[in-house]
Amino acid sequence: MRFDDRVAVVSGGANGIGWATVERLLDEGARVAILDLETDAAAAKLAARASDHDTTLHRAEVFACDVTRAASVDEAVASVIERFGRIDVLAAVAGGDRLTDDELGEEHWTSIVDWNLHGPVRLIRACREALTASRGAIVMVGSVNGVAAYGEPAYASAKAGLTLLAKNLAVTFGPAGVRVNVVAPGTIRTRVWDTQGGPDRLAPLYPLGRVGEPADIAAAIAFLASDDASWITGVTLPVDGGSLAGPFAVMSHLLDAGE
């Protein structure tokens, strides 16, 4: 129970990696504030846990939040502090991509960077005072796209920005005892793949022979947010089934498949 008596904020907590992170932190004793626009979905999942005789429902609450709007983030975080009194962990999970043929288009580029890079900055800014008071931890969800050239340049650039953001904030926040890290997932089984033929077709590209599950990323987030990682800050941790370790193997698979 690494998070007993601690309060965690999880943005994008209604689905996928975010929801898996909520469950992991609840299971380890945290009180969890779920920030998401899909408040009904988050509430339904919490209710389902309660119907399974789960006792953590009273330790979680849902707050409406749009990470692309500073006012919405500030209002949500203020409500979290009013409700729980403190913030010990910020898991900035909200983000994603919208596939388009116009990858360098102004509207697409602006919206993707705003969502994936500016969104976490807004959350950090709003939570900074509370995290400083608790000597807390920040974990942002990046991507292997931000580490190597897997395509999707707007998304990749935004996720790469999180790596340098974490390094810089690790230095500036370090004296206050606040740690800042990034988890960089590979292909994860989330709803984004529902209209793309499913993620398992990419399993042969991974040295471990499978795609990731949301729980794989939630476990890494929990580790970096916990005292087990108390001397780790400013790092980007790939959780990617080995894809970054074997780029030539990945390329050979692509060539063999004629893609």
Contact (Cβ atoms closer than 8 angstroms) between residue 140 and residue 166: yes
198 inside domain: no
93 inside domain: yes
Per-residue pLDDT reduced to its tens digit, 4-51 = 999 999 999 999 999 999 999 999 999 999 999 999 999 999 999 887
- Predicted pLDDT of residue 135: 98
The angle, 0 to 180 degrees and rounded to 10, between the axes of the packed helices 214-225 and 16-27 is 50
- CA of residue 82 relative to chain centroid, distance: 24
The CATH number linked to 117 is 3.40.50.720
181 inside domain: yes
258 inside domain: no
- Predicted pLDDT of residue 218: 98
Structural domain for 229, as ranges: 7-192+211-242
252 inside domain: no
Active-site residues, by number, are 155, 159
Per-residue pLDDT reduced to its tens digit, 97-151 = 877 667 787 788 899 999 999 999 999 999 999 999 999 999 999 999 999 888 7
As for how many domains the chain has, the answer is 1
49 inside domain: yes
Token pair belonging to 118:
């500016």
Give the C-alpha separation, 16 to 224, whole Å. Answer: 19
204 inside domain: no
Per-residue pLDDT reduced to its tens digit, 43-86 = 999 999 887 667 777 899 999 999 999 999 999 999 999 999 99
Residues 6+ apart with CB under 8 A from 9: 32, 33, 35, 77, 80, 87, 89, 90, 91, 123, 127
45 inside domain: yes
